[in-house]
Amino acid sequence: MQIRTLFCFLALAFAGCTGQPAPADKPSPAPDREWWKEIIVYQIYPRSFKDTDGDGVGDLKGIIEKLDYVKSLGVDAVWLNPIYSSPNDDNGYDVSDYRNIMQDFGTMDDFDEMLKGMHQRGIKLIMDVVVNHSSDEHEWFRQSRSSRDNPYRDYYHWWPAEKGKPPYRYSLFDPKGDAWKYDSMTNAYYLHYFSQKQPDLNWENPKVRQEVYDIMKFWADKGVDGFRLDAFQFVAKDTIFPSFPEGFEKNFVEYYAMQGNLHEYLREMNREVFSHYDVMSVAEGAGRNFEDAHRLVDEDRHELNMAYAFEGVDIAKPGGYTLAHFKEVFTRWDSAFANNGWLSIFLANHDQARLVSRFGNDSPAFRIPSAKLLNTFILSMRGTPYCYYGDELGMTNIGFEKIEQYRDISAINGYKKVKNEGGDVEQYLKDLRFGSRDNGRTPMQWDSSEQAGFTSGPPWLPVNANYRQVNVEAENKDPASVLNHFRKMVQLRKQHPALVYGKYQLLQPEHPTVYAYTRSLGDEELLVLLNFSDKKSGLALADVATIGEVLINNYGTVEMDKDAVRLEPYQALVFSLK
C-alpha cells in the first residue's frame, strides 16, 4: 500500500477527519499595526522569581540578575505582579502605599535600576494597578475608618449599622463569603469583594479617581510602558446597594461586572493618563459578554487597548476538559474580535495552577511534548500572548496534600468556608491539588542546586521536587527542551506577522483530538496542527493548499504525505502553506 493511501485510510478511521472545509469567515481587514499587539509578554511573579538576600522571597535585585535570561527568551515585555508596599494579605494585591516598593522586594533605587536594565535590553515593563481595593493598612483607609466625618470617609463604601444589616454581597476571599465587615470604630460596615484586609475603593468619588490617575502618572513618568488593571470590571458599584436575588453569588460576575459609570471612568482615565504617554493598557476581566468586551477595547471608544477574557482559561476543570469545548471557545472569541478590538491570549497566570498540569499532561511520558504544544498554541493565536514564568520550562503543579501547606488566602479561607458550611473538605483539598493558585506560585527553577537556585534561605513556598530535571540550566543545554521550543516559537511569531495579525480559520472543527487552524495574512498562510491527546492521531489535509516547510515540530520527524498527517501524542506542528 502506498504511504498516501495508508494515510487517507487512517484519517478516515478517526471521527472528524472528514476533510470538510470549515465555514468561511469574513476576511480580516488590513491590521492596524500597534506595538502592543506585536509584543509577547512574560509575566513575573516577583515573590517567586529570584531571591538575592536569602530571606526566601524573590526581590527586584533578583529580577535584575535574571534580565539577560528574560532577554534570551525573546519576549518584549514583562508584566510584574504588584511590587508596592503591602502587608501581603494577598501577596501584594493589598496595597498600603502605591508610590513605594514592598520591603521584601527592595527599594525604589532597585526599581529604577530594574526598569533601566529592562529598557537597555529593549524590554518593556507593565505594572499591575490594584485599585478596586487598597489594603486596610493604607493611610486612606486608616483615615476613612477613624470617623464618619473624616475627609477620607467616602474613599470607601460604608453602610451605617443603624440602617440594619446591609444587603448581602458575596466576597471571594472571605471565610463566610460575606463582603461586608462590621467595624466597631464607627458602628458601620465596609465593603470588601476580596479579603477583609482589601476594602473596596469608592470609584464613584471623583477624588478617588483623581488619586488613582495621579498614581498612574507617577509610574508613567518613571517610564513604565503599560498598566494591567486588576479586577477592574468590578470597580463601579451601585452605591444604593440594592438587594440581589438569592443565590446570585453563583453567578456574581453578572451582578458585579461593568456596573454604573465604569466606561465613563475608563474614558476619563484614558484622557487623564493614557493619552499623555505611549503606554498600553489591559484590564483583568472582559465583562459579561462580547458586547461588554467590545465596549472596553474597541478603538473608537478610547478606553483600553485590550482585556483578558476568562472563558478560555476557565475551561480546564479537575475532571478534565474536551478539545471540542476548547476549540469552540477560542474560535468564538477570535471571530468576535476579528474585525474590531483586541484581546490577550493566555492559559495561565498567578491565579491558576500550572499550564501543563491543567491543560496538558504532566506525566513523565508526556510533560515535555504537551508543554511544548500548549506554548505553540498560545504563541500562534491572534491576540497579545501572556506567558507565565516557569511555563516556558514546563513547570508542574506541586500538589500539596494538607491545607497547612498552602499560603494563598483564597485556598486557606476557601477551606474555612467549606468547613464552616459542613461541606466536603476532602473534595475541596482534591480540587486545590489540581487548581490552587499556589501550584502556580512555587519558586522558579533555575538549576539543580539546593532550592533550585532560587534562594539561599528557606523559600516562602516549597520548590517543586522535580527541579533537578526541570530547570533553566538543564533546559538551556538541551536543544530539545521545552525552553528551547518556547524560544523557537517566540522567534517564529516575530518572523511571521501572520501569527500576530493574520486571519484565523479553524479546520475540521469536529476532529476529536487534533486542533487544526490556519493563520493567513496577505500571501502568507501558516497551518498549525496540535494533537491534544496521548495517542497518535491522523488528520486528512483535504482542505489546505499544498504543505510547504515545517517551521515548528516538537518531535524529530513528521509522518505525512500530501493528503494527511499522522501526529504523535501531543505533537505540535506549524507549516508554511504554498
Beta bridge partners of 84: 101
* Residue from 194, 203, 386, 486 binding ligand NOJ (CB under 6 A): 194
Q: Which three cell numbers stand for residue 411?
A: 485556598
What is the distance between the alpha carbons of residues 158 and 147, in angstroms, rounded to a whole number? 11
Question: Residue with the closest Cβ to ligand NOJ?
Answer: 93
Q: Which three cell numbers stand for residue 27?
A: 476576511
Pick from 100, 103, 73: nearest CA to 84 = 100
Site for ligand NOJ in 314-353 (CB under 6 A): 350-351
Spatial CA neighbour of 202 closest among 167, 157, 158 = 157
Comparison of 93 and 504: residue with beta carbon closer to ligand NOJ: 93
Minimum CB distance to ligand NOJ smaller for 280 or for 499: 280
Binding flag, residue 93, ligand NOJ (CB under 6 A): yes
> 124 to 163, contacts with ligand NOJ by CB under 6 A?
130
| Comparison of 408 and 568: residue with beta carbon closer to ligand NOJ | 408
Listed residue (536, 565, 560, 555) closest to 372, CA to CA: 555
Query: Which residue, 192 or 493, is less far from ligand NOJ as judged by CB?
Result: 192
Q: Which is nearer to ligand NOJ, 441 or 487 (CB)?
A: 441
Q: How many residues bind ligand NOJ (CB under 6 A)?
A: 9
Q: Are strands 158-160 and 559-560 parallel, antiparallel or unpaired?
A: unpaired
Q: Across the strands, what pairs with 281?
A: 227
Rounded least distance, CB 89 to ligand NOJ, Å: 10
Residue 191 or 529 having the CB closest to ligand NOJ: 191
* Residue 410 Cβ vs ligand NOJ, minimum distance, rounded to whole Å: 7
CB of 12 to ligand NOJ, least distance (A): 46
C-alpha cell at 414: 476557601
Do the bridges between strand 344-345 and strand 280-284 make them parallel or antiparallel, or are there none, so unpaired? unpaired
513: DSSP letter: S
Q: Least distance from C-beta 200 to ligand NOJ, angstroms?
A: 10
Cα distance between residue 313 and residue 315, in whole Å: 6
State which of positions 351-390 bind ligand NOJ (CB under 6 A).
351
Nearer to ligand NOJ (CB atom), residue 351 or residue 431: 351
Q: How far is the CB of 253 from ligand NOJ (least distance, A)?
A: 13
SS3 assignment, position 175: coil
Q: Which of 262, 268, 271, 272 is nearest to 296 (CA)?
A: 262
What count of other Cβ atoms lies within 10 Å of the Cβ of residue 271? 12
- Amino acid identity, position 27: P
Cell numbers 472528524: residue: 16
Chain residues 205-234 in contact with ligand NOJ, contact rule CB under 6 A:
230-231
Which active-site residues does the annotation give? 230, 284
> All 3 cell numbers of residue 159?
453602610
Grid coordinates belonging to 60: 527586584
Among 76, 136, 174, 284, binds ligand NOJ (CB under 6 A): 284
CB of 231 to ligand NOJ, least distance (A): 4
Question: Using the rule CB under 6 A, which residue among 51, 89, 90, 334 binds ligand NOJ?
Answer: 90
Task: Confirm or reject binding of residue 408 to ligand NOJ (CB under 6 A).
Answer: no
We find the least distance from the C-beta atom of residue 194 to ligand NOJ, in angstroms, to be 5
178 binds ligand NOJ, rule: CB under 6 A: no
Q: Helices 262-272 and 290-297 meet at what angle, rounded to 10? A: 20
The span from the CA of 223 to the CA of 221, in Å, is 5
Task: Please give the residue ranges that form the binding site for ligand NOJ (CB under 6 A).
Answer: 90, 93, 130, 194, 230-231, 284, 350-351
